[in-house]
Amino acid sequence: MEAASIPTGERSILERSPLARLPDRALKYGLTALSALILALIVYFFIRLVGQARPAFAKEGVGNFVFGNDWNVGAEHFGALPLLVGTLITSALALLIGVPVAVAAAVYATELCPLRLRAPLTLLVELLAAVPSVVYGLWGIFFLAPKLQGTEQWIADRLSFIPFIGGGLVTIPNYFITGLVLAIMILPIVSAISREVMSTVPADHKEAALGIGATRWEMIRLSVLPYCRSGIVGGAMLGLGRAIGETIAVTILIGNAPELGHHIFSQGYSLAAAIANEFGEAQGVHRSALFAAGLVLFVLTLLVNAIARLLVVRAARTRGSGAGSAKTPGGMTALADTGAGA
Amino acid sequence: MSTQGASAERLARFAVSPARRRKDRLARTFILAGTVIALIPLALIVYYLLRKGLGAWSTSFFTTDPTGNTFFGGSSIGGIKSAILGTIEIVALASVIAVPIGIGVAVWLVEYGRGSWFAQTVRFFVDVLTGVPSIVFGLFVYIVLVVGTGSTYAGYKGSIALSLLMLPVVIRSAEVILLLVPGALRESALALGAPRWRVIFSIVLPTALPGMVTGVLLAVARAAGETAPLLFTAAATLKTNFNLGGFMNSLPVQIYKDVTSPTTAVVNRAWGAALTLVVMILLLNLIARLIARRSRLA
């Protein structure tokens, strides 16, 4: 890139008076300070959050707090396992349901669909990202959950021999419905990133496959999917990060029962839901425990996102030069939406 | 299937065994089915929002504040005026905070920091910000501005929480657009003797403007729909409030509060408010996309 090699203006500055040099300096150092501010802010927040969470950790012990199976506000016992498990189960369900659908939609849009349909199809999937999470919650609890309760009960009865799935009574708010709505919510991100990665598969690879007589599907399986694997996994991880941190839709849909559900159709709780639900009335150690839950959530999303970025960046690197410089408008909106980029 | 390209069809007829052809057709059917499944929720949400939401809409719905009087139902529960105005005020202040900072950092990343280790670090932390759950931003702001100052909730605190949420989106989208500004433009300006700051303000930023507006609008749209960061920063009140130093109602918080109500009329108000919110966000998205299409850079 030529712009990188622009001299930082030394040549012209040599001929400028110190006074004329001033705005340049001011701008440079001002902007540098602004960027440093972002760093400082995050570090500061993290330290303050740890500070607020300390009383709860001190009372329960870090291990007991994270893995203790007892969230009892009345008795001031705070073991966040039911919350953590709820977060993980719903997010895993979201990935299980959402990723195959998102990848299928991406494959269809990039490889199979008529050119004329491509833009509208992309737009429609991306519109899902424009729906606020509270609206997903509202729709889920008043439309989706009651409509699906019968089906869920039927599945639970039929599959009663499989532990964690069948056998129990299906409640309207439950893990499964939460995971389903989360799957819808992560669809646009996963699909957008998959599509972007797929659009970078070199035409030669695809033509080579078709040239030796592969069918369309064989071409997709042999040259598109392997090329995109780490990018798709990265996109899925970003979706996972979203699902883990999702608050309001989950609070409305999961039932807010502070215990481990016995199967995926029973009520539960999640880290984010506990904070949203209890924070308003919390006092003392309880409040500190909610800060601690926030800290666990923060660390969890941090880990997931770090892995995701690593994979997406690696996917971008294997596709060689030009990544991150030439983006289509659609690519940009997807990027703005997810913050993903090489 | 009608989606089959003519060339692929010809190819299949010549060379492909029936088993492979069947497999191909099966796989394509699955992919198509997945795509259709991906579109179903959108159709259902839009349909349900319109059906339930339009029923709640009326003139008084937009011109009266919600009342706490939800027991009797009917028109006595009031509308969502304070929520609409609150959302607009909170998001406007959030944009005023996030946009200059975000674009400033993006300009630094592209014009000054490029390639340095410090820029890499900043970029990494911006990515970290992107991944932070919105409710954690609420906690941050609560710790610093509510516990820290020993005061209570206020509209501007909600704005700050939302601006933290918007920052990474603004920075990343602005950075992508600034990178697209041709290096030759900068070089020409520098060659004419323009100082660096003139180059940035007169050449780079105007060229990148439409693209950056798109990113900003998308960030605004995202922030407008957020509930979690507002729950314990701006709180909720019923009254219309033009003072950002006081409690402030907002559409997402109003919907969240109404969802849990046992009264049908209140839930209907939530549907009406949800439709209003979605229409506002879709309009922002639409404008953003139109501007993106007109931008000469992308």
Residue-wise pLDDT for A282-330, tens only, equals 888 899 999 999 999 999 998 888 888 788 777 766 654 333 333 333 3
CA pair distance A261, A114, nearest whole angstrom: 46
DSSP assigned state of A170: P
User: Could you write out the DSSP letters of every residue in B28-95?
Assistant: HHHHHHHHHHHHHHHHHHHHHHHHHHHHH--HHHHHS-B-S--SS-GGGGB-SHHHHHHHHHHHHHHH
| Best mutation target, B48, B140, B283, to test chain A (most A CBs within 10 A) | B140
For chain B, what percentages of helix, strand and coil (3-state, to nearest 5) are there? 75, 0, 25
Residue in B282, B168, B289 with CA at minimum distance from that of residue B225: B282
Q: Mind listing the pLDDT tens digit for each residue in A128-143?
A: 888 999 999 999 999 9
List the single residue in A with minimal CA-CA distance to B290. Answer: A329
Q: Among A82, A79, A51, A49, which Cα is nearest to A66's?
A: A79
Q: Pick A329's closest partner by Cβ from B48, B224, B293.
A: B293
Contacts of B41 in chain A (CB under 8 A): 128, 184, 187
Distance between CA atoms of residues A91 and A254, nearest Å = 12
Question: Which tens digit of pLDDT belongs to each residue from B69-120?
Answer: 666 655 677 788 889 999 999 999 999 999 999 999 999 999 888 878 888 8
Q: Do A304 and B131 touch (CB under 8 A)?
A: yes
Name the average pLDDT for chain A: 83
- Average pLDDT over every residue of A163-184: 87
Contacts of B119 in chain A (CB under 8 A): 35
pLDDT per position as a tens digit, A50-68: 999 999 988 888 888 888 8
- Residues in B 218-247 with any Cβ partner in A closer than 8 A: 218-219, 221-222, 224-228, 231-232
Residues of chain B with pLDDT under 70: 1-15, 68-75, 296-298
Say whether A27 and B196 touch across the interface (CB within 8 A).
yes
Nearest Cα residue to A199 out of A29, A49, A291, A328: A328
Sign of CA dihedral A40, A46, A50, A53: positive
Assess whether pLDDT exceeds 50 at residue A199. Answer: yes
Question: How high is the pLDDT of residue B289?
Answer: 83
What local confidence, expressed as pLDDT, does residue B79 receive?
81
**pLDDT score for B178:** 92
Q: Do A3 and B28 touch (CB under 8 A)?
A: no
Q: How far apart are the first and last CA of chain A?
A: 15
Helices (H), chain A: 10-13, 18-60, 62-67, 81-107, 115-127, 133-139, 145-158, 175-198, 203-211, 216-219, 225-245, 248-253, 271-278, 284-318, 329-338
Q: Check pLDDT > 60 for residue A340.
A: no
Residues of chain B neighbouring A305 (CB-CB closer than 8 A): 127-128, 130-131
CATH 3.90.1300.10 fits B74-294, yes or no: no
What pTM did the predictor assign? 0.86
The gap from C-alpha B185 to its chain's centroid, in whole angstroms, comes to: 32
Contact B108/A101, CB-based, under 8 Å? no
> Is the pLDDT confidence value at A167 over 80?
no
Can you give the residue ranges of every domain in chain B?
6-40, 74-294
Express as a percent the part of chain A with pLDDT over 90: 36
Higher pLDDT, A251 or B4: A251
Mean pLDDT, residues A159-183: 85
Question: Does residue A276 contact residue A251 with C-beta atoms inside 8 Å?
Answer: yes
Helix/strand/coil for A71: strand
Q: Does B50 touch chain A (CB under 8 A)?
A: no
Q: What percent of chain A has pLDDT over 70?
A: 87
Are A52 and B147 within 8 A, CB to CB? yes
Does A73 reach chain B within 8 Å, measured CB to CB? no
The answer to whether the CB atoms of A339 and B228 lie below 8 A apart is no
A72 DSSP β-pair partners: A77
Chain A positions touching B114 (Cβ under 8 A) are: 3-4
**pLDDT of amino acid A264:** 85
Region A42-46 average pLDDT: 89
Among B132, B287, B290, pick the best mutation site for testing chain A contact (most A Cβ within 10 A).
B132
Give me the pLDDT at residue B188, please: 93
Contact of B73 with chain A, judged by CB distance below 8 Å, is answered with no
The answer to whether B125 contacts chain A (CB < 8 Å) is yes
A100 contact B CB<8A: yes
Q: Provide the residue count of chain B.
A: 298
Q: Which domains does chain A have, with CATH numbers?
A: 81-268+315-338 (1.10.3720.10)
Smallest Cβ–Cβ distance between A215 and the set B20, B105, B167 belongs to B20
The residue that leads in pLDDT, A206 or B262, is: A206
Taking alpha carbons only, the member of B218, B278, B268, B288 closest to residue B87 is B278
ipTM of the complex: 0.85
